[in-house]
Amino acid sequence: MRGIRVRQLAGIVRQRSVAWLIFSLALLFSSVFFSTAIAATVNGVRMWAGPDNTRLVFDISGPIDHKIFMLSSPNRIVVDMQNTRLRGQPTGLNFSDGVVTDLRSGARNGRDLRMVLDLKGKVRPKSFLLKPTKQYGHRLVIDLQDARAKQSRKVKRQASYEPKGSARDVIVAIDAGHGGDDPGATGRRGTREKDVVLAIARELERLIKKERGMRPVMIRRGDYFVGLKDRRKKARELKADLFISIHADAFRNGRARGTSVYVLSQGSATSKAAKWLAENENNSDLIGGVSLDDKDDLLGSVLLDLSRNASIAASLDVGGKVLQHLKVIGRVHKDRVEQAGFAVLKAPDIPSILVETGYISNRYEENNLRSKKHQRKLASAMLSGVRGYFRNNAPPGTLLAQVDRKHTIRRGETLSGIASKYRISQRTLRSTNQLALNTVLKIGQTLRIPVM
Ligand SMILES: [Zn+2]
């Protein structure tokens, strides 16, 4: 079309005056300019379903104007994108989870693109544009909050927080880093941080469930995005006594190896690497489109600072214990707990640590991080550290805070005999005293008998 026009124009130029030439050229340039400025394209659609939120990300060639509205019977969301075309048909979308059951598209007014999302029920839609980051170009993000899911979760939460008898469990919030449109770091074999850290988090959840006096809560259960501030908020809502964020980042240097434990710093970072990593982690919000403005930092009250200082001291304590146990299973990157300004760790009242379970950028560690056996080892090292911390720091009113009795072993006694005497299981007795399965009891040795 444009080619024909140019050829026609060439014919005209030969015959007509210079004035015509100028006029025609101006017309040609304006039409060329106009057509490149308006035609944005949608190059792909990605979707993730969380427990109460479904997120769609449209990868677009540039910023666009759009409108979004809901229609009922049947429930659907309409997204109109001005002067936009769809390149190819979206593929690989999984409609089995979340609120969206189908995605259709059509042209409107010859220039606009209309996308229709069929829904299972009513939602609260939100949409925003995101600027390019390292991994992605321009994006239009649509968040669909499922109203029903939120209500049912609230009810469930109330029901599950009845204390058991007089003493409660300590609650450990497990936070698998990244998720959804934020994949985190990627290894050479294509391993994504968001996937391996979720696997390790699930392993830790499984172990803590079996632990007397402890209960795990998961900040992220699947492959979806949760903002850094929302992670802290969720931990507080779930009344967590401890917050563990699990990561497996990349480093510029592919040879960097080892696990590390980080806690929040009030001032400057303890090393360049810690600072670099914190900045990298805090980018998660930029990728997922949450503002980094930290409103509770603005409060700046003395009380907040005091409780933050106290929880940093507690965080260093639990971080040190976790690091000790990580040392047993492999190389550690730094011999001490490092500190930097991690946004996810900024809960003023909950001791919080961030565990880098290894460098996904290192070929050897990438393979390790993919292995179920290694994931289990990491989780069990974290649990040992947590157990050690709560042994001396159990919050008042928890089962772990109750003073245990002591039993001194006499000749002829067996573990099963002692367990049945105090009406506890052998497993509890073993885990309280950190006894391996094949431990031989010594006469005169004292055992802690947990209060049940
Ligand atoms: Zn990370």
Q: For residue range 188-227, what is the model confidence (pLDDT) as tens digits?
A: 999 999 999 999 999 999 999 999 899 999 999 999 999 8
Structure tokens at 408: 């001194």
Residue, of 173 and 308, whose pLDDT is higher: 173
Question: 184 CA to middle of ligand 1, Å?
Answer: 5
Around Cβ 393, how many Cβ atoms within 10 Å? 17
Question: 158 CA to middle of ligand 1, Å?
Answer: 32
Q: For residue range 137-153, what is the model confidence (pLDDT) as tens digits?
A: 899 999 998 877 655 55
Question: 146 CA to middle of ligand 1, Å?
Answer: 28
Q: Which of 115-119, 387-391, 394-398 has the lowest mean pLDDT?
A: 394-398
Question: 223 CA to middle of ligand 1, Å?
Answer: 14
Question: 176 CA to middle of ligand 1, Å?
Answer: 9
Question: 138 CA to middle of ligand 1, Å?
Answer: 22
The ranges assigned to domains in the chain are 2-38, 40-148, 163-393, 403-449
Question: 441 CA to middle of ligand 1, Å?
Answer: 43
3-state secondary structure of 145: strand
Question: 382 CA to middle of ligand 1, Å?
Answer: 17
Question: 284 CA to middle of ligand 1, Å?
Answer: 8
Q: Mean pLDDT over all residues of the chain?
A: 83
Question: 163 CA to middle of ligand 1, Å?
Answer: 34
Total residue count of the chain as it appears in this document: 452
Question: 450 CA to middle of ligand 1, Å?
Answer: 37
Calpha distance 109→247 (Å, rounded): 47
Calpha distance 53→401 (Å, rounded): 37
Yes or no: say if 282 and 345 are a contact pair by the CB < 8 Å rule: no
Yes or no: say if 422 and 407 are a contact pair by the CB < 8 Å rule: yes
Fold for the domain defined by 40-148 = Immunoglobulin-like (2.60.40)
Question: 63 CA to middle of ligand 1, Å?
Answer: 28
Question: 225 CA to middle of ligand 1, Å?
Answer: 13
Question: 280 CA to middle of ligand 1, Å?
Answer: 8
Question: 177 CA to middle of ligand 1, Å?
Answer: 6
Task: Look at residue 252 in the predicted model and tell me its pLDDT.
Answer: 76
Residue, of 140 and 270, whose pLDDT is higher: 140
Question: 248 CA to middle of ligand 1, Å?
Answer: 6
Q: Which of 380, 431, 432 is nearest to 205 (CA)?
A: 380
Calpha distance 439→361 (Å, rounded): 39
CATH number of 403-449: 3.10.350.10
Domains 40-148 and 163-393 share a fold: no
Question: 25 CA to middle of ligand 1, Å?
Answer: 54
Question: 99 CA to middle of ligand 1, Å?
Answer: 28
Q: For residue range 62-71, what is the model confidence (pLDDT) as tens digits?
A: 999 999 999 9
Distance (Å) of CA 179 to CA 117, 142, 345: 23, 16, 17
Question: 133 CA to middle of ligand 1, Å?
Answer: 16
Residue type, 200: I
Question: 306 CA to middle of ligand 1, Å?
Answer: 28
Question: 277 CA to middle of ligand 1, Å?
Answer: 8
**Is the predicted pLDDT of residue 267 greater than 90, yes or no?**
no
Helix, strand counts (H, E) of the chain: 13, 17
Question: 12 CA to middle of ligand 1, Å?
Answer: 63
Axis crossing angle, helix 363-370 with helix 193-209, rounded to the nearest 10: 40
Residue type, 97: D
Question: 178 CA to middle of ligand 1, Å?
Answer: 6
CA dihedral sign, ordered 88, 85, 58, 283: positive
Q: Which of 144, 132, 146, 176 is nearest to 47 (CA)?
A: 144
Q: Which of 30-34, 124-128, 132-136 has the lowest mean pLDDT?
A: 30-34
Residue type, 235: A
Q: For residue range 319-368, what is the model confidence (pLDDT) as tens digits?
A: 999 999 999 988 888 889 999 888 888 877 899 999 999 999 999 999 99
Fold for the domain defined by 163-393 = Aminopeptidase (3.40.630)
Mapped to the 3 state alphabet, what secondary structure does 402-422 carry?
CCCEEEECCCCCCHHHHHHHC
Split at pLDDT 50, 70, 90, the class of 269 is confident
**Is the predicted pLDDT of residue 60 greater than 70, yes or no?**
yes
Structure tokens at 53: 């939120």
Question: 197 CA to middle of ligand 1, Å?
Answer: 9
Residue type, 153: R
Longest dimension (CA), the chain: 119
Structure tokens at 345: 């760790």
Question: 194 CA to middle of ligand 1, Å?
Answer: 8
Question: 181 CA to middle of ligand 1, Å?
Answer: 13
**Is the predicted pLDDT of residue 441 greater than 50, yes or no?**
yes
